[in-house]
Amino acid sequence: MNALSRRSFLTLTGAPLIGSVAGLRFGTALAATELSHPEKIRYAKETTTICPYCAVGCGQIVSVRDGKVINIEGDSDHPVNEGSLCSKGISLYQVVNNERRLTHVLYRAPGGTEWEEKSWDWALPRMAQLIKKTRDETFRTTENDRPVNRTEGIACLGGAALDNEECYLYSKFARAIGIVYLEHQARI
Amino acid sequence: MTSEEMLSFYEKILDTQRVWADRITVESIIPLEKARGKLVNGIPLLEGEAPAIDPEVFREVALTLAEVYRVRGETIDVLIEVDDSANLIKRLMSDQEACLVDITKETGLDREVVLTFFQLALTPFYEKMAVPFRGMIEEVGWKYGFCPVCGATPEMAKLRDTDGQRILLCSFCRTEWAFPRIQCPFCGNTDQNSLRYFYVEGDDGHRVDVCEVCKGYVKTADERLLGRAVGLQEENAVTFQLDLLAEQEGYSNAEWRTGNRE
């Protein structure tokens, strides 16, 4: 710890005396019934993050209780935004907690008009098969006698709510299968 | 003693202190330029200075406070009569610990009671000394967990309405200063995995920020959740149950307060 990070008041000349509100209790303890029951105590923690949306890169504080996000707010100690957030940034909470957020796969068949609920076990292999099929059908190894190894049959668009690491993996995946139309909304 | 009695008592104490803080005059403790230099270098203004406290006024303040104690049925006058006022101040200022031990022995009162009473009587003087430097403290941007004026530890905090900034309240001279949200003011810990807070269900406007490294805690009132401005001294008083809960949960500031920990 930095030597300046803490100084005992006892080292001061004219040292203040530090009693406390508790010192006013005089040992006449409060009736036990007046104390909140420990079962009503809730613990939470705060962690810092960066808003995923735009290039300004505002700092945010995320509060988590029992593994669930309970609040997201601007970080007052962050030099970029000093606690403030735009209307989009302040609504980031709704990305996590939102009754309108889809929690299962919805599928609409080609030419179909109705959505049907599907399992991930059904959806993931099907997505992989269709990507593979399109990629193989449109893959070009050369153009004008130069090697290009790309597909122009698929475009890839990253979402702003993806974090750095997810975006990194996503772009690696896209480039690995030859996608060149690789875009992302965020500019951070 | 019920909570209500406790609060009404503390309210009277605060009122008394406020009246005195308005009334007393203190000499300037340090020239402004020197003060700025100290703050920039992370040194509390009072370090190495010798604040002059008028023994007669001190005695009057103590007597008025003792009157508040008396109304509640506690006789504390023995603490004022334990020594000549000038001498008493001198003893408190020079070898505080020895002085406390002696007075505790002489009066038979609990150490915490002795400590608290003298603190209450001295606070108006220090509060007054701190006033001229408030703007400078904000301007310089003091970023330490101890008071920029007297070096004492914080006793209460609030999250400011406008931007959520954490503001700490000095437990002694009542100076307020901004401090990072996710850092322990006592040991300086910034590890987000060992800092957390608790609150009592149904009252999320108040919380207790705790550090798992040093087991220190600071009570915090969130102006945004409470929907009103927070006066830190009053809030500190009305939330004393949180102090008791913090103790129950295994947290304490006693070591920091009494200087037994560095």
pLDDT digits (tens, 9 = 90+) for B66-103: 998 888 777 778 888 878 888 888 887 777 778 888 88
DSSP tally for chain B: helices H, then strands E? 12, 6
Choose among A7, A42, A47: nearest Cβ to B199: A42
pLDDT for B185? 94
Top pLDDT among A49 and B92 is at A49
Confidence of residue A35 (pLDDT cuts 50, 70, 90): low
- Chosen from A8, A10, A17 to mutate, greatest number of chain B CBs within 10 A: A17
Asked if B197 is an interface residue toward chain A (Cβ–Cβ < 8 A), one would say yes
Selected residues 151-180 of chain B with any CB under 8 Å from a CB in chain A: 151-153, 155, 159-160, 162-166, 171-173, 180
Q: Residue B74 corresponds to which amino acid?
A: E
Which H or E element spans position A70? strand A68-74
Confidence of residue A45 (pLDDT cuts 50, 70, 90): very high
Task: Name the H helices within B168-261.
Answer: 223-226, 232-238, 240-248, 254-257
Top pLDDT among B100 and A29 is at B100
pLDDT at B18 over 80: yes
Inter-chain CB pairs, A–B, below 8 Å: 205
- Mean pLDDT of all residues in B8-19: 87
Selected residues 45-104 of chain A with any CB under 8 Å from a CB in chain B: 45-48, 61, 73-77, 82-84
A43: left (phi over 0), alpha (psi -120 to 50) or beta: beta
- Mean pLDDT of all residues in A142-166: 90
Contacts of B7 in chain A (CB under 8 A): none
The answer to whether A48 contacts B182, with C-beta atoms less than 8 Å apart, is yes
Top pLDDT among A99 and B171 is at A99
Top pLDDT among A153 and B108 is at A153
- Mean pLDDT of all residues in B244-260: 75
Edge to edge, what strands does the sheet with A139-143 contain? A139-143, A146-158, A179-184
Cα–chain-centroid distance for residue B72? 22
Q: Please say whether the beta carbons of B62 and A28 come within 8 A.
A: no
Selected residues 63-102 of chain B with any CB under 8 Å from a CB in chain A: 74, 92-93, 96-97
How far CA A173 is from CA of A168, A180, B253, in Å, comes to 9, 11, 52
Choose among B48, B193, B201: nearest Cβ to A40: B201
The structure's pTM equals 0.80
Which H or E element spans position A176? helix A164-176
- Return the DSSP state at A21: G
Question: E strands of A114-178, at which residues?
Answer: 116-118, 139-143, 146-158
Q: Residue B178 corresponds to which amino acid?
A: A
Q: What is the ipTM of this complex?
A: 0.84
- Return the DSSP state at B30: S
Edge to edge, what strands does the sheet with A59-65 contain? A68-74, A59-65, A41-50, B195-200, B203-211, B217-222, B154-159, B166-170, B176-179
pLDDT for B254? 66
Q: Please say whether the beta carbons of B157 and B208 come within 8 A.
A: no
Lowest-pLDDT range, B43-57, B92-106, B128-142, B166-180?
B92-106
What is the C-alpha to C-alpha distance for residues B115 and B104, in angstroms, rounded to an integer? Answer: 9
- Mean pLDDT of all residues in B133-160: 92
> What is the CA angle B154-B155-B156, rounded to 5?
105
- Mean pLDDT of all residues in A125-141: 96
pLDDT for A16? 45
The answer to whether B165 contacts A76, with C-beta atoms less than 8 Å apart, is yes
Selected residues 126-155 of chain B with any CB under 8 Å from a CB in chain A: 126, 144-146, 150-153, 155
Top pLDDT among A30 and B228 is at B228
Percent of chain A surpassing pLDDT 70: 78
Instruction: Work out the minimum CA distance from A160 to partner chain B, whole angstroms.
Output: 25
Top pLDDT among B256 and B104 is at B104
Instruction: Work out the minimum CA distance from A23 to partner chain B, whole angstroms.
Output: 5
